[in-house]
Amino acid sequence: MRRLLSLIALCLALVLGASPSFAADAAHGGQIFSANCAACHMGGGNVVNAERTLKQDALEAYLANYATDHESAIAYQVTNGKNAMPAFGGKLSEGDIADVAAYVEEMSAKGWA
């Protein structure tokens, strides 16, 4: 029944011209993070620039629009990169990046514990 309701909602969104949004998968994001990000950001740290960690206070300090939309701000950084961080927009899909952003947000809220 739940799947049928989701399908109906998707159809209505498409008919009404709305773009459907799907919840990001933080668990999948953790896998993508491990494969692509952990070398520099293990445990939410940063081996290149110790001040630019993935801890919540650091994200608030240096990510534009983090106060407005945490996951979008993280996804923008992952997609476009900045300074020593490479852009992953050409390497990861938009869905993978959304999943990584959800994972980073979830872990930063937990203090990377």
CATH assignment at residue 51: 1.10.760.10
Evaluate whether residue 7 is within a structural domain. Answer: no
- Is 87 inside a domain boundary? yes
Q: How many domains does the chain have?
A: 1
C-alpha closest to that of 107 among 40, 23, 30? 30
Which of helix, strand or coil describes residue 31?
helix
Give the pLDDT score at 26: 96
Separation between Cα atoms, residue 39 and residue 24, nearest integer Å:
23
Write out the chain's pLDDT in tens, 113 residues: 655 544 555 454 455 554 445 579 999 999 999 999 999 999 999 999 999 999 999 999 999 999 999 999 999 999 999 999 999 999 999 999 999 999 999 999 999 99
Question: What pLDDT sits at residue 50?
Answer: 93
Q: Does residue 5 lie in a domain region?
A: no
Q: Does 6 fall in a domain?
A: no
Phi then psi dihedrals of residue 85, to 5 deg: -80, 125
For residue 93, tell me if it sits in a domain.
yes
Q: How far apart are CA 67 and CA 8, in angstroms?
A: 33
Q: Is residue 44 part of a domain?
A: yes
